[in-house]
Amino acid sequence: MDLESLRREYLQGGLSRADLAEDPIDQFSAWMQQAIDLELADPTAMTIATVSADGQPSQRIVLLKHFDKTGFVFYTNYGSRKSNELTANPKISLHFPWHTAERQVKICGEATKISTAESIKYFISRPKESQLAALASQQSSVLISRTFLMNQFESLKQKIGHGEIPFPDFWGGYRVVPKEIEFWQGGANRLHDRFRYLLNEDGSWSVDRLAP
């Protein structure tokens, strides 16, 4: 494969300091709404990066389920690799790759578990099949086969699929409290526009333009 010759220009528009909101959450909200309005595929999909105890980074894609001034929320199995790594080191990075819009957003901060009440509220809003899947899968553990997993799922479906699904105490959400948020807009000749918000000790945000 000739990967070196695969390239394209980024020409959809630039980004200036005057375009930015004073608060990065407001800026993120505006960009997220635009991504939804453009009908981008999976606009809430984000790559999250955690680090193991021995310093090995690991990435995976999850879905953003809520955000506000307090942070960005996603859900997972608390026995998963990501959860084990966050227990040892709560530092985390989120990345939204909105390629079609020639935009990226990177968020760095720390993750903390949300309350059980918040997790239950979201869990019961999910389709029953998704609730059952959360019970059936011991996320990140070694599987004998997919057949074993599907048998687990079908067994639970037969037992409790027609009633209320019990909330699993090993499942729930994390809230990522941001300390740094970067907005990236593609530019011609690889001269992209990058603006980084950094959280100050007094709770305000400072903004810097970064070299591409």
Q: What is the block-wise mean pLDDT of the chain (212 residues), using blocks of 10 residues?
A: 85 90 98 97 98 96 98 97 97 97 97 98 96 92 93 92 90 98 95 97 97 96
Domain-embedded: residue 40: yes
Whether residue 92 is found in the same domain as residue 152: no
pLDDT given at position 4:
86
Q: Which domain holds residue 65?
A: 8-124+167-210
> 125 Cβ partners below 8 Å, 6+ apart?
none
Whether residue 104 is found in the same domain as residue 28: yes
pLDDT given at position 76:
97
Domain-embedded: residue 1: no
CB 174 within 8 A of CB 63: no
Going by C-alpha positions, the residue among 108, 102, 107 that lies closest to residue 191 is 102
Catalytic residue among 103, 190, 194, 196: 190
Domain-embedded: residue 20: yes
pLDDT given at position 158:
92
Active site (annotated) includes residue 190: yes
* Strands, E assignment, 41-137: 45-51, 57-63, 66-68, 71-77, 91-98, 103-113
Q: Would you call 171 exposed, middle or buried from its count of C-beta atoms within 10 A (0-12, 13-18, 19+)?
A: buried
pLDDT given at position 12:
84
If one counts the domains in the chain, the total is 2
Domain-embedded: residue 3: no
